[in-house]
Structure 1
Amino acid sequence: MELVRAAQLALSCLDLTNLDDACKPEDIDTLCARARSPHGPVAAVCIWPRFVARARELLAGGPVRIATVVNFPTGEEPAGAVMEMTRKAVGDGADEIDLVIPYRELMEGASEPVLTRLRRVKESADGRTVKAILETGVLEDEALIREACRLAIEGGADFLKTSTGKVRVNATLRAGRIMLEEIAASGAEVGFKPAGGIRTTEDAAAYIALAEEVMGQGWVSPKTFRIGASSVYDALIATIEGTGPAPGTDGY
C-alpha cells in the first residue's frame, strides 16, 4: 500500500492515547482537539477513566469515540473495583473499555479468571466495545499468546489488543501475526489493536499490511482495526501533508 494512503488509513484507525501517569485535564483538552485533525477524525481517544466525562463534553456530537482502561496496567485489580470502574466509565460517557486480562494468572496455569473477568466486564459495559489487552510482551510464549487469544474471544472480547504500553516489550509484528491468526481461525467478528511502540508511518503501515495479509484486503477499518499510540500522530500528519519525515516522540 502506498505510504500516504497507509497514513490516511492509520489516522482513521488511530486510538489517540494519553495514559501518562501525570496526565492533566488540559492535556485531555489538547488530545481531543488533535483528535479532530484537518485530515479527518481519529477513531477514538484512549484516556484514564477520570477524564472520560471531560472528553465526552469536549467531543459531544462528533464521530470520535471515547475509550478508557480498566484493570490497568497490572491486570491485578480486585474484580469488584474493576466492575465498578467499568460502570462509572460507561455512565460518564465511555464508548469503549480496554481491559487488561489477568495475564499473570494465565501464566500460572489459571484460565478461568480470564473468562470470568471478561464476561463480567462485558456485562458491566452494557453493550459498549470491550478490548482485551493480553500483554503479549510479557506472555511472550506463542502457546500462551494463542491461549490468551482464544480465551478472550470465548469471553466475548470485541477486540484483541497487544499491550498496555507500560512494559518493556509492547506491540510486535510476531505477536500481531499470532493474534490475527487466532481471530481468523475463530471465525468471530473480532478486531485487532496493536499498541505501544508504534511511532512512525512505516510502523503503522507494517501492521496494516500484516492485517490485510492474514485477514484479507479491505479488512482494515476502524470497526476491525485500531492502532493504540500517542507519538505516531505527528508522523502520520507529516506523511499525509508531504512535509517530510516526522519521527514520533518517545511516547506510547
Structure 2
Amino acid sequence: MKINQFLDATYLKTAEQAGISEQENLLKVVQLVEEAIVYSYKLIMIRSKYIATVKRLLVAAKSKVLIGTVIDFPNGNASIEKKLEEAQKAINLDADELDFVINYSAFKEGKIDLIKNEVTNCVSLCLTNNKIAKFIIEVAALSNEEIIVISQLIKQVVLDNFGEENAKYVFVKSSTGFYKTEDNVPNGATLEKIKLISKNAKPLKIKAAGGVRDYEMAMKMIALGIDRIGTSSSREIITKEQNLNLGY
C-alpha cells in the first residue's frame, strides 16, 4: 500500500488567517503544489482563488495530482443557491473535487428537508460535470447521535436519488479543521468519530480531515476503512512511510 494515494494535501488559510501577505500566501500554495508533484499525492486541497495557478503548475509538470477546493467554507450556512453558484465557479475553473460544508447548523435545528435538498442539488451538479462531491459534516459541532443521523441521511439521499452505482463519487468528510471548540477539545477527525461515519455512511466514501498529523494516526484511519485523509502534514506522513520502507 502506498499512503500517498490517500492524501489530500491541504492548505486552506487565507493570507489574513496566516498573518502574512497575499503574495506570501500564494507562495505557500505553490510550495505545496511542488511537494504534491514530488510525492504524487492524490490531491491538493486549496481555496478556489488559487485553482487557476495550481492547474497551470500541474499541467506544466504533467502531473496526475487532482485539484480540490472547498465550498461555503468554513461555516456552511449559505443558501443552496449560493452554494451552487460557488460550486459552478469552481467547476468552471476545472476543480476535480468539491468539498461542501453542509449546513450542519440547520441540521441541528431539525431542518431535514433543507439538508436533503442541499445534498441532492450539490451531488446532481457534481455528477453532471463529472466531479467528486464531499460533504463536510463538522463532527466537533455534532453529538455522536447527530453524526450517525446525518451520515445515514446523506447516504440515503444519494442512494435514493442517484443509485448505489454513484455512491463512489460522494464522500462524507469529518471536519473543516476550522471549528472553534471549548477547552481545546479536538475539532477534527478522531477514531471514535470516524468509526461512526464509516459504519453509517458506507457505501459512500469517507474522508478523515482535521487532526491527522502523523503516519501512525493515518494508518489507524485507513484501518477503519477511510478512503482519503485531508491533512496539512502530508510530507511528514509520507516521509515516515519512506523511512519505514528503508528500515529506518
What secondary structure is seen at the aligned counterpart in 2 of 1:155? helix
Shift of 1:243: 10
* Paired residue type of 2:122: V
d(CA) in 2 for partners of 1:128, 1:239: 30
2:155 aligned to 153, 156, 168, which one? Answer: 153
d(CA) in 1 for partners of 2:235, 2:150: 29
Greater length-normalized contact order (CA 8 Å, ≥ 6 residues apart):
1
Q: 1:155 to 1:67 in 2, by over 3 A?
A: farther
Shift of 1:53: 1.4
- The reply on whether 1:44 has 2:43 as its aligned counterpart is yes
What secondary structure is seen at the aligned counterpart in 2 of 1:67? strand
d(CA) in 2 for partners of 1:243, 1:210: 22
Shift of 1:242: 4.8
For residue 11 of structure 2, what is the aligned residue in structure 1?
Answer: 18
Residues 138 and 175 in structure 2, CA contact (< 8 A), matched pair in contact too: yes
d(CA) in 2 for partners of 1:17, 1:124: 24
For residue 163 of structure 1, what is the aligned residue in structure 2?
Answer: 175
Residues 154 and 201 in structure 2, CA contact (< 8 A), matched pair in contact too: no
> Where do 1:46-65 residues align within 5 Å?
46-60=45-59, 61-65=62-66
d(CA) in 2 for partners of 1:242, 1:191: 28
Structure 2 unaligned residues grouped into runs of 5+: 16-21, 159-168, 182-186
Shift of 1:57: 1.1
For residue 98 of structure 1, what is the aligned residue in structure 2?
Answer: 99
TM-score by length of 2: 0.82
Deviates more, 1:43-52 or 1:142-151: 142-151
Shift of 1:85: 1.1
Q: Which has the higher helix share?
A: 2
d(CA) in 1 for partners of 2:216, 2:121: 37
- The reply on whether 1:205 has 2:208 as its aligned counterpart is no
d(CA) in 2 for partners of 1:149, 1:130: 14
- The reply on whether 1:193 has 2:207 as its aligned counterpart is yes
TM-score by length of 1: 0.80
For residue 115 of structure 1, what is the aligned residue in structure 2?
Answer: 116
d(CA) in 1 for partners of 2:40, 2:238: 13
Residues 115 and 154 in structure 1, CA contact (< 8 A), matched pair in contact too: no
Deviates more, 1:166-175 or 1:86-95: 166-175
d(CA) in 1 for partners of 2:116, 2:232: 30
Shift of 1:121: 1.7
* Paired residue type of 2:14: D
What secondary structure is seen at the aligned counterpart in 2 of 1:194? strand
Residues 198 and 232 in structure 1, CA contact (< 8 A), matched pair in contact too: no
* Paired residue type of 1:170: G
* Paired residue type of 1:135: E
User: Could you report, residue by residue, the CA deviation over 1:84-137 in whole angstroms, capped at 9, with x for unpaired residues?
Assistant: 111110110100000011001111111111111122222333231000101011
d(CA) in 2 for partners of 1:173, 1:238: 20
1:228 aligned to 220, 224, 230, which one? Answer: 230
Structure 1 unaligned residues grouped into runs of 5+: 212-219, 245-252
What secondary structure is seen at the aligned counterpart in 2 of 1:36? helix
* Paired residue type of 2:174: T
Shift of 1:35: 0.5
* Paired residue type of 1:153: K
The alignment-based identity, stated in percent, is 27
- The reply on whether 1:128 has 2:142 as its aligned counterpart is no
d(CA) in 2 for partners of 1:210, 1:124: 30
For residue 173 of structure 1, what is the aligned residue in structure 2?
Answer: 191
